[in-house]
Amino acid sequence: MALLSNSASYMGIDIGSTGIKIVELKKESGKIKLVNYGFSESEKSEIVDWQNNSELSAKVIKKIIREAGISAQSAISALPTFSVFSSVLNLSNIPKKDIASAVHWEAKKVIPLPLEDMILDWKEIDASREKQNKKKNANDVKILLTGAPRVLVKKYIEIFKLAKINLLSLETETFSLIRSLLGNDKSTIMLVEIGASTTDISVVDSIIPMLSRSIDVGGEKITETIGKNLNISLDKSEQFKYDLGVSSINSHGGNELKAITNAISPVVNEIKYVVNHFHGKNNKKIEKIILSGGSVLLPNLTGYLAKILDMKIIIGDPWSRVSYPRELRPLLQEIGPRMAVAIGLAIRELE
């Protein structure tokens, strides 16, 4: 049964590495409202390549829709950040009529795959700033370029065709996270999405992703590393991870706590690298870091990162732009970090 009426509603469908999340939203009286949601996650011991198993993904999507009572017919989905190439291009003294060819030429330099195997998308950014700066050449332009493998895009199209859902658009996860977690916040912010198998890090300035990186370390790898360091089972290391967190590392320093901090150190080191790289290249300070993803609920992770990075760290609230029944708040806040991408996708058609 739907939570609210579902006329003119849209689904945001996030096909992740360990599960599929769906959020159905609609706009009513100028407000974005939650209609319904649902998700399905594989067991920790089960590895499912959702993106490359079209029939299974379509089957799971249909099952979620059926069991949750979702009735929207149209959806927006996202390509994984680690599978999409993105870059900010600075083009100097390029007449407007030549921008498209210049972008194609520059794309050959920054995308390490044959362009015929990619679907390219680009848009001009910072136009207002450039016009305000009289020292800038009128023909200087900054371009946000993205490239997605054709074979991956075809897989997604196939999934939604099998699921009999109208796929309105595909975008990268970073844009959906910006939509759900930042809204109209134009400050310089780092988004850190710690998922099951990867961590995606993006620096966003004026709602534009300026720098993105991904590493193959997520919640599952952290659990696995803890288990190896302590010579315990995956189930027990998962329990240690969420029972102990990183809250007492400085005061107690037990083997379990050291194992946890050692396991998350690749994420910490990558954040440090991105912060230094962005500052060195742009001479701008990142004002805060917003966390999302199912693995950010590690106890006191925000406090630990704030201390070790000397930065403001918060867990993002993807429901902040969405109206929903008050009694659902405890549950929605609990699942919020893992639903952030799906929420941002559904919002796209309602802005």
CATH of the domain at 293: 3.30.420.40
- Determine, yes or no, domain membership for 4: no
- Determine, yes or no, domain membership for 48: yes
3-class SS at 304? helix
User: 165 and 41: one domain?
Assistant: yes
User: 167 and 307: one domain?
Assistant: no
pTM score, whole prediction: 0.90
Nearest to 154 by CA among 118, 115, 114, 104: 118
Q: What percent of the chain clears pLDDT 90, i.e. is strictly above it?
A: 67
pLDDT at 201 over 70: yes
User: 42 and 168: one domain?
Assistant: yes
| Domain count of the fold of the chain | 3
The enclosing domain of 109 has a CATH number of: 3.30.1490
Domain limit, last residue, from 134, 150, 166: 150
Residues recorded for the chain: 351
- Determine, yes or no, domain membership for 273: yes
* Mean pLDDT, residues 215-221 taken together: 91
* pLDDT at residue 6 in the model: 43
**Angstrom distance (rounded) from CA 319 to CA 336:** 7
* pLDDT at residue 52 in the model: 66
* Mean pLDDT, residues 51-80 taken together: 92
User: 30 and 40: one domain?
Assistant: yes
Tens-digit pLDDT profile for residues 286-303 = 999 999 998 898 888 999
User: 36 and 155: one domain?
Assistant: yes
Q: Which residue has the tokens 């939570």?
A: 3
- Determine, yes or no, domain membership for 1: no
DSSP state of 182: I
User: 249 and 291: one domain?
Assistant: yes
* pLDDT at residue 254 in the model: 63
CB-based contacts of 14: which residues, under 8 Å, 6+ apart? 20, 21, 22, 77, 78, 173, 176, 339, 341, 342, 345
User: 107 and 225: one domain?
Assistant: no
User: 134 and 76: one domain?
Assistant: no
* pLDDT at residue 1 in the model: 39
Measured at the alpha carbon of residue 219, what is the angle toward residues 216 and 222, in degrees to the nearest 5?
Answer: 80
Is 144:123 a contact under the CB 8 Å cutoff?
yes
Average per-residue pLDDT in the chain? Answer: 88
* pLDDT at residue 133 in the model: 45
Please enumerate, as own/partner, the contacts of 255-263 that have beta carbons within 8 Å and a separation of 24 or more.
255/229, 255/230, 256/226, 256/230, 258/229, 259/225, 259/226, 259/229, 259/230, 260/222, 260/226, 260/298, 261/304, 262/225, 262/229, 263/221, 263/222, 263/223, 263/225, 263/226, 263/229
3-class SS at 205? strand
Domain limit, last residue, from 131, 150, 169: 150
62: domain range? 10-81+151-183+317-348
- Determine, yes or no, domain membership for 206: yes
Q: What percent of the chain clears pLDDT 70, i.e. is strictly above it?
A: 88
Q: Which of 63-72, 150-159, 229-238 has the lowest mean pLDDT?
A: 229-238
- Determine, yes or no, domain membership for 5: no
- Determine, yes or no, domain membership for 15: yes
* pLDDT at residue 4 in the model: 47
* Mean pLDDT, residues 257-273 taken together: 90
User: 277 and 198: one domain?
Assistant: yes
Is 181:340 a contact under the CB 8 Å cutoff?
yes
Give 140 or 12, the one with higher predicted confidence.
Answer: 12
User: 245 and 144: one domain?
Assistant: no
User: 160 and 21: one domain?
Assistant: yes
User: 59 and 172: one domain?
Assistant: yes
Q: How confident is the model at residue 44 (pLDDT cuts 50, 70, 90)?
A: very low
Tens-digit pLDDT profile for residues 47-64 = 455 556 899 999 999 999
